[in-house]
């Protein structure tokens, strides 16, 4: 079976007679921003009013993404709508033929505008059409192309409310005997640490006040991240093997790609995403909007979904969407003496957006992203509470386990991208984990609370254990064994996708029988519960307290990343990490079991 990506008309993609706009992608390339002078004026007034929908513009001291700005300047009205230009010329020529002379300026203007209004009314729908979205096409052994949607018909008949997670109605986990081949882009990973030159280092790193180790940390044992768990699985040479090896299926990949198409279709005209997905071309056709105001968090989650499949602004079918999303994030960054602020009201957004920037840079080596990624990490370092080692909603607060999880993942990706991450920040983070862990004797550290060791739950347990895995606990750690066993017995949730997202990473890194059982249940549940009608096709929404805040975009992004788990991050506790992953890690294991 051979898999390829190509563009198809929407009706053909879905195998239905739905209107083509139901799956139409975001705005065409080149319409991201108006000419630079108008963009700057509009952006300044919009920022003053706190408008998150304003087109992004980089601060002068940071510079701009030149390729994105160049595209916007090259787009003129005549090149966008040549039919309008021809209509205007024809109108003036007709006027001259009838009167025998050229019309005066205001008369010509009035006449031409009347003609243009008529033409616009007639051709408006054609101008608004978008290219068809990418779809997976399966090539059978006899060479016939089979539409991706038809492959999932058998597993997309049961409505989401009819599904029970304990007894999925699609195929159970069975190791495939036939290799699954996927045509994927070759990613450009950063060079080995030995190849890194002094010119690649952050020129302002030594001047950053947050790089200074606190006096209370002097003499403490060094802390760093373990090797493995890198991004090499997203590479074209590894992803097909890992899909087969770790429990992915053709239907799970189709569901994942359909989710990416939905996310792409809900990108805003300015390049960003919003948890309130109803604006733009969606036009309120999808239910369950979110309420969180941070567009940097929404954009970060959307970008992480594309990056998790190996799709960057340089490779893959979503290059335009990813490029505009990165441009939006860099434009929303506020340059401060403490680094690049991407919060928009919450450190959750800082961690998520920073993680996206660091992964994009690590996967492509695009040097235009490096200063933005480094400044975002600098702000995370600054925002850590120096006493507790934690992070919370606002810089300097004592901290909570869930916010810490996003910051630690961003810091880890920054280290893989060869960015500057002070060692004492990692040590402080593990100290915070010590303060919120629970359990008795050898099992102390199996469970984690939110603000303290009290009221531990499976979500915070999963975040805490994942952080412990990344900061050095090996597979023989008694607390880790006990904690993983508790998650395995609890199983996936029907509604809480945040718990599922964190726990799925823990179980995948752990591997073995417990992972295979977890994966078979959650994978099939996600495939069945995906929306498959109307403009919501390809998305997810679940009834959970977090869902009301994040909405359909939040649920879809998490579901997509869970279906990418086979290759999104390489396993920590096996020897399956590739040479590319080891080169990208630059991280030595540490003894974190004591």
For the stretch 422-435, pLDDT in tens is 999 999 999 999 99
Please tell me whether residue 6 adopts helix, strand or coil conformation.
Answer: strand
Across 409-415, average pLDDT: 96
Q: Which residue has the higher pLDDT, 328 or 35?
A: 328
> Of 200, 187, 199, 204, whose CA–CA distance to 418 is shortest?
200
Confidence category of residue 437, pLDDT binned at 50, 70, 90? very high
Share of the chain above pLDDT 90, in %: 51
Q: Mean pLDDT lowest for which of 104-108, 126-130, 299-303?
A: 126-130
**Across 540-544, average pLDDT:** 93
Compute how many other C-beta atoms are within 10 angstroms of the C-beta atom of residue 66.
10
pTM, two decimals, is 0.66
Residue 582 tokens read as: 């080891």
Q: What is the pLDDT of residue 239?
A: 85
For residues 133-161, one letter each, b for 16 or more C-beta atoms within 10 angstroms of the residue's C-beta and e for the rest, the string is: bbbbbbeeeeeeeebbbebbeebbeeeee
The whole-number pLDDT of residue 545 equals 80
- Residue-level pLDDT at 572: 84
**8-46, pLDDT tens digit by residue?**
333 333 333 333 333 333 323 322 333 333 333 343 334
pLDDT above 90: residue 1? no
- Residue 92's pLDDT band, with cuts at 50, 70 and 90, is low
Q: How far apart are CA 403 and CA 313, in angstroms?
A: 28
Q: What is the band of 260 on the pLDDT scale with cuts at 50, 70, 90?
A: very high
Query: Average pLDDT for residues 143-147, to the nearest whole number?
Result: 35
pLDDT tens, residue by residue, 440-459: 777 889 999 999 999 899 99
Q: Read off the pLDDT band of 112 (50, 70, 90).
A: low
CB-based contact 537:23 (threshold 8 Å): yes
pLDDT in tens, 38-83: 333 343 334 333 455 554 544 444 444 544 434 443 443 444 444 4
Q: Which of 56-60, 238-242, 584-588 has the highest mean pLDDT?
A: 238-242
* Most confident stretch, 131-135, 278-282, 445-449: 445-449
For range 457-472, the mean pLDDT: 96
Strand ordering across the sheet containing 181-182: 145-147, 134-139, 2-7, 181-182
Give the residue-averaged pLDDT of 220-224: 45
Looking at residue 570, its pLDDT comes to 87
The pLDDT value given to residue 117: 64
Domain boundaries, given as residue ranges, for the chain: 77-129, 134-176, 215-585
Average the pLDDT over 477-495 and give the result. Answer: 96
User: Of 543, 521, 544, 526, which Cα lies nearest the Cα of 166?
Assistant: 521
Q: Is pLDDT above 90 for 188? A: no
pLDDT of residue 279: 83
Strand segments, DSSP code E, in 1-144 are: 2-7, 134-139
Q: What is the pLDDT of residue 560?
A: 98
Please return the burial class of 44, using the count of CB atoms within 10 Å of its CB with bins 0-12, 13-18 and 19+.
Answer: exposed
Q: Inter-axis angle of helices 497-510 and 545-563, to 10 degrees? A: 30
What is the dotted CATH code of the domain comprising 215-585?
1.50.10.20
* DSSP code per residue over 236-248: TTTHHHHHHHHT-
* Whether pLDDT at 486 is above 80: yes
For residue 400 the two structure tokens come to 């909570």
User: Residue 491: which of 263, 66, 166 has the closest Cα?
Assistant: 166
* DSSP 8-class letter at 190: P
Does 386 score more than 90 pLDDT? yes
Query: Which is higher by pLDDT, 586 or 121?
Result: 121
Tell me what the pLDDT averaged over the chain comes to. 72
For the chain, first and last CA: distance in Å? 48
Per-residue model confidence (pLDDT) at position 327: 98
Residue 300 has pLDDT above 80, yes or no: yes
């Amino acid at each position: 079976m051979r898999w390829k990506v190509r563009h198809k008309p929407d009706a053909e993609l879905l195998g239905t007679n739905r209107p083509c706009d139901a799956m139409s992608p975001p705005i065409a390339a080149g319409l991201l921003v108006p000419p630079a002078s108008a963009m700057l004026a509009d952006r300044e007034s919009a920022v003053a009013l706190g408008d998150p929908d304003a087109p992004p513009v980089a601060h002068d001291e940071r510079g701009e993404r030149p390729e994105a700005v160049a595209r916007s300047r090259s787009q003129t009205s005549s090149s966008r709508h040549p039919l309008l230009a021809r209509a205007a010329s024809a109108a003036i020529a007709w006027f001259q033929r009838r009167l025998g002379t050229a019309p005066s300026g205001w008369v010509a203007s009035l006449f031409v505008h009347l003609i243009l209004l008529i033409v616009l009314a007639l051709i408006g729908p054609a101008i608004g059409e978008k290219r068809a979205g990418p779809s997976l096409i399966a090539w059978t052994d006899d060479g016939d192309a089979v539409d991706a949607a038809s492959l999932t018909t058998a597993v997309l008949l049961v409505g989401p409310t009819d599904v029970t997670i304990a007894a999925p109605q699609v195929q159970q986990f069975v190791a495939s005997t036939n290799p699954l081949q996927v045509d994927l882009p070759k990613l450009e990973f950063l060079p080995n640490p030995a190849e890194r030159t002094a010119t690649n280092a952050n020129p302002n790193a030594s001047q950053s006040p947050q790089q200074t180790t606190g006096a209370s940390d002097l003499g403490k044992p060094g802390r760093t991240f373990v090797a493995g768990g890198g991004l090499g699985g997203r590479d074209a040479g590894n992803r097909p093997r890992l899909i087969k090896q770790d429990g992915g299926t053709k239907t799970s990949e189709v569901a994942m790609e359909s989710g990416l198409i939905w996310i792409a279709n809900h990108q805003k005209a300015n390049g960003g995403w919003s948890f309130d997905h109803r604006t733009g071309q969606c036009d309120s056709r999808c239910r369950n909007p979110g309420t969180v105001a941070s567009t940097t968090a929404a954009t970060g989650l959307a970008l992480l979904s594309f990056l998790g499949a190996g799709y960057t602004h340089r490779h893959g079918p979503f290059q335009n969407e990813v490029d505009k999303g990165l441009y939006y994030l860099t434009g929303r960054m506020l340059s401060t003496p403490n680094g690049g602020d991407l919060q928009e009201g919450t450190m959750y957004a800082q961690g998520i957006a920073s993680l996206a920037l660091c992964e994009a840079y690590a996967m492509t080596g695009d040097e235009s992203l490096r200063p933005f990624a480094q400044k975002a990490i600098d702000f995370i370092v600054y925002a850590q509470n120096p006493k507790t080692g934690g992070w919370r909603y606002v810089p300097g607060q004592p901290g909570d386990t869930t916010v810490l999880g996003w910051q630690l993942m961003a810091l880890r990706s920054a280290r893989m991208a060869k960015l500057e991450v002070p060692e004492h920040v990692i040590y402080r983070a593990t100290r915070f984990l010590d303060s919120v862990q629970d359990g008795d004797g050898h099992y102390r550290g199996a469970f984690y609370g939110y603000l303290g060791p009290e009221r531990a739950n499976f979500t915070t347990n999963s975040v805490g254990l994942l952080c412990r895995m990344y900061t050095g606990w090996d597979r023989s750690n008694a607390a880790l064994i006990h904690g993983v066993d508790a998650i395995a017995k609890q199983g996936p949730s029907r509604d809480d996708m945040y718990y599922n997202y964190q726990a799925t990473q823990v179980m995948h890194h752990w591997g073995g029988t417990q992972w295979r059982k977890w994966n078979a249940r959650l994978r099939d549940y996600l495939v069945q519960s995906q929306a498959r009608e109307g403009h919501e096709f390809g998305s997810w929404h679940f009834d959970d307290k977090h869902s009301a805040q994040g909405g359909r975009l939040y649920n879809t992004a998490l579901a997509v990343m869970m279906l990418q788990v086979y290759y999104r991050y390489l396993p920590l506790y096996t020897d399956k990490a590739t040479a590319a992953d080891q080169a990208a890690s630059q991280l030595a294991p540490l003894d974190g079991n004591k």
